[in-house]
A and B are shown apart, each in its own frame.
Chain A
C-alpha cells in the first residue's frame, strides 16, 4: 500500500523497556517524529537504580569502583560486547540526557559522577549501581560512613524487613537500629502494597502522621532508612518534607518488584515522552513488519481492537528485549527472534545452552544469545547484511552480553539506544523530505 511520505513517522520504536524508552526519548530530543509500541512492562520490575557496568569479568565476579574503567577493560576483553562499541563520551552524554529528562519529569537523580555507588537492598545485601535516585543517595553515604542510623519498615509490607537488614549488617554497622511501624490508615490491613503507601504519603495529613510516628524513635540516629514509598508522582516533595521535618538525611531502600521506584520511572518516562510528542500504543503488539522498498518505509501492522492498525515509519528500532518480553522466543530447537525471524546468534545446539551448574558464576551461553548488529547497530540477516537499511536493534536483545551478571542493564539500554539513534539520524538525513 502506497503511503505519502508525509504520513510516515520518522522512527517507530518497538518495545518500551529501558532501551525502548531511551530510544524514543533520544529520538524526540533529536526532533524526530516517533511512535512507540509496547507497554513498558519491564520497567515495572526496575529498582530505580541505573546500572552502567559493575562486574567484569563476569566469571570472576570482580566489582569495579569506576564503571568507565570497567568499560575500558571490557573493550579489551570483549570487543564484541555492545557496550564496548560505544565510546565513553557518548555514554556520558546518553546518561546525562536520560537523567536530565527524568529530572524534568519530576524524578530527580543524584549527580552522576565517575564512580559506582554502593547501597543497601531490602534484604540487607549490597548493590553496586551508577545512577541513584536523589531519594536513595543518602543511603550511599550512610553505608560508607556507618553513622548511628535508624531503619524502619511497615507491618504488612511484604519482602521488606528492617530487622533482616540490620541482622545481615550486624557485625559491620554498630548503631544500626530497626523499628517496625504501623502505617497510618492501614492499621487493620493484613498486607500492604507499596504503591498505595506511596500515594498516601503524597497527602499532607498522612505524611504528618507518619513523620510523627518516626520522630520520637530517631534518638541519636543521624540518618533514616525507609522502604521506597516516599511518594509516586511527587517523590521529590515527599522526600524533602521527610528530611525537613526529621532533620536528618533520609534514604529510601529499594524494594522488591513491582516497586514504587519502578512505577516512578515508568511514570516519568511516559510523562517525558508525552511532553515531547511521542505517540504511544501501550497494550499493542506488532503482528507484522514489512519493508516497502519503493516508499522507503517500514509498514507495521499492530493488533488492535478495531481490527488492525497500520503505521508507516522511515526507520524502526527493535528494542523488544529477551525472553520475558518475548523479543526472543526459546523454542525446542533454537532461539528465534519474534517479529521478523532475524537470525539469532546462539549456541549450536540446545545442549550447549546451559552449564550443568545453574549458578555457574560465568553464566550460561544462552544468556549471551541475541542479535548480531553491524557498526551502525543494524541487525544482520543470514548473509551478514543488514536486514533493512534503516532497521536497528538496541538493548538486551543484542548478542554477546550478560546484563544480569555484569550489572549493566540500564547502561546497555541507554548507551546502545543513544548510539543507534545517532545512526538513525544520519540514515534519515538521506530520506527526510527537504
Chain B
C-alpha cells in the first residue's frame, strides 16, 4: 500500500508529533508514504471564495494524480475539504471548467483518479481492526478511552463516506483493537469548536470544555483524537481542574504504543504509566 502523505498546514507547524507517529505506525504496518510538494487544502479559502478553495484542493489532487498515487490525510479537516471539493467539481460543470483551466495554466490535470483517505478510513477499511489487533504487543488493557471522531470523517455522510454518521462504530473498534476499552459518551459526535476559534474564541473554548467535561463524566480516562484541530483545541481547553481535564492522545500514538513502538518515535515524552489493575 502506497500513499502520498498529505500533511496539510497544521501538523508540521503545530503538531509535529502527529506526523512522527503516523510515519512510525504506518512504516511498522507496511504502508509506504511518499512526500509530494502539496500546498494548503483550501479550507481557509472557503470563507472567501468557493472557486479559490476548489482550485487549491483540486491542485493537490492533480499533483497526486500526476504521481499516480492516492492521498492519505491524517488531518480530518483536510480530508473533508478535499472530498468536499471533489463533490462540488462533480456536480457543477461550470466550476469544473474554470478549475480545469486554472490547473492547465500550471500544466496540471485532474480526472478524479486520486482517492482521498484518512488515517481512520485507511486503518479501519483498508487494513482492518483485526490486522491491527494481531500486531499489538502491549495492549492497553483497562484503559477507558473516549473516541473523538471529529466532524469531517463523518459528515456530510455522502462526502465523507465513512461509517454511519448517525451511529458510527469504527473508531471505537479501532480503539478496541489496541486493547483499550472504548467509552460511550453522549457528546461524542459533537464538534470540538476549533473552526470557531478565530471568529468567536469564547464560544470555541466553551464547546471544547463541554466535550471534555462530558468525556470525564462518562468515565473516560483519555480522549483519543484523529485530527490536529480537535487535538489542539482540547489541549488549549484544559483548565486543570479534575472534572475539566483529561489526557488527550492521537490515535496513532495510542496504536503505536500498543504495537510496541518506543514513545519517542511517536512524539511522546514518555509512554503511558503502567496501570494499576
Q: Judge whether A92 is part of the interface by a CB distance below 8 angstroms.
A: no
A-B contacts, 10 of them at CB < 8 A, read A202-B186, A270-B166, A271-B167, A273-B164, A274-B167, A280-B157, A281-B157, A282-B157, A284-B158, A305-B159
Stretch of B16-24, B59-67, B84-92 with 4 or more beta carbons under 8 angstroms from chain A: B84-92
The interface of chain A, by Cβ under 8 A from chain B, is 40, 199, 202-205, 231-234, 266-267, 270-271, 273-275, 279-284, 304-307
Q: Judge whether B235 is part of the interface by a CB distance below 8 angstroms.
A: no
**What residues of B have a CB within 8 angstroms of the CB of A40 in the complex?**
166
Q: Judge whether B51 is part of the interface by a CB distance below 8 angstroms.
A: no
- State in angstroms the CA–CA spacing of A283 and B187 once bound together: 22
Q: Judge whether B200 is part of the interface by a CB distance below 8 angstroms.
A: no
A305 touches B164 (CB 8 A): no
B164 touches A280 (CB 8 A): yes
Q: Name 13 extra pairs, CB < 8 A, besides A280-B166, A305-B90.
A: A203-B210, A203-B217, A205-B213, A232-B186, A233-B186, A267-B166, A270-B164, A270-B167, A271-B166, A273-B167, A280-B164, A281-B157, A283-B157
- State in angstroms the CA–CA spacing of A263 and B151 once bound together: 19
Number of CB contacts from chain A to chain B under 8 A: 62
Q: Which of A202, A281, A304 contacts B214 (CB 8 A)?
A: A202
- State in angstroms the CA–CA spacing of A279 and B186 once bound together: 22
**What residues of B have a CB within 8 angstroms of the CB of A273 in the complex?**
164, 167
Q: Judge whether B138 is part of the interface by a CB distance below 8 angstroms.
A: no
For the complex of A and B, 3 pairs with smallest distance between CB atoms: A274-B167, A270-B166, A305-B87
Q: Judge whether B142 is part of the interface by a CB distance below 8 angstroms.
A: no
**What residues of A have a CB within 8 angstroms of the CB of B217 in the complex?**
203-204
B186 touches A234 (CB 8 A): yes
A302 to chain B, nearest CB (A): 9
B214 touches A203 (CB 8 A): yes
A306 touches B156 (CB 8 A): no
- State in angstroms the CA–CA spacing of A273 and B112 once bound together: 32
B186 touches A305 (CB 8 A): no
A305 touches B169 (CB 8 A): no
- State in angstroms the CA–CA spacing of A266 and B86 once bound together: 30
Q: Which of A232, A279, A282, A304 contacts B165 (CB 8 A)?
A: A282
- Chain A binding surface, main DSSP class: mixed
Q: Which of B156, B159, B165, B166 contacts A266 (CB 8 A)?
A: B166
Interface centre among B86, B90, B186 (most CB of A within 10 A): B186
Task: Report if A283-B169 is in contact (Cβ < 8 Å); known contacts: A232-B186, A234-B186, A307-B90.
Answer: no
Q: Judge whether B168 is part of the interface by a CB distance below 8 angstroms.
A: yes
A275 touches B186 (CB 8 A): no
C-beta contact mask, B186-214 vs A, less than 8 Å → 1, else 0?
11000000000000000000000010011
Q: Which of B158, B210, B213, B214 contacts A305 (CB 8 A)?
A: B158
C-beta contact mask, B205-241 vs A, less than 8 Å → 1, else 0?
0000010011001000000000000000000000000
Task: Report if A305-B165 is in contact (Cβ < 8 Å); known contacts: A234-B186, A284-B158.
Answer: no
**What residues of B have a CB within 8 angstroms of the CB of A306 in the complex?**
86-87, 90, 112
- State in angstroms the CA–CA spacing of A306 and B186 once bound together: 32
A274 touches B186 (CB 8 A): no
A199 touches B156 (CB 8 A): no
A283 to chain B, nearest CB (A): 5
B120 to chain A, nearest CB (A): 16
- State in angstroms the CA–CA spacing of A428 and B112 once bound together: 38
- State in angstroms the CA–CA spacing of A199 and B190 once bound together: 11
**What residues of A have a CB within 8 angstroms of the CB of B91 in the complex?**
305
User: Nearest B residue to A36 by beta-carbon distance?
Assistant: B164
**What residues of B have a CB within 8 angstroms of the CB of A204 in the complex?**
217
User: Nearest B residue to A238 by beta-carbon distance?
Assistant: B186
C-beta contact mask, B76-97 vs A, less than 8 Å → 1, else 0?
0000000100110011000000
**What residues of A have a CB within 8 angstroms of the CB of B214 in the complex?**
202-203
**What residues of B have a CB within 8 angstroms of the CB of A284 in the complex?**
158
**What residues of B have a CB within 8 angstroms of the CB of A280 in the complex?**
157, 164, 166
- State in angstroms the CA–CA spacing of A271 and B166 once bound together: 8
- State in angstroms the CA–CA spacing of A231 and B187 once bound together: 11
- State in angstroms the CA–CA spacing of A203 and B215 once bound together: 10
- State in angstroms the CA–CA spacing of A176 and B155 once bound together: 46
Interface centre among B90, B165, B167, B210 (most CB of A within 10 A): B167
User: Nearest A residue to B115 by beta-carbon distance?
Assistant: A306
B69-123 interface with A by 8 A CB criterion: 83, 86-87, 90-91, 112
Task: Report if A283-B167 is in contact (Cβ < 8 Å); known contacts: A202-B214, A233-B186.
Answer: no
User: Nearest A residue to B213 by beta-carbon distance?
Assistant: A203
**What residues of A have a CB within 8 angstroms of the CB of B90 in the complex?**
305-307
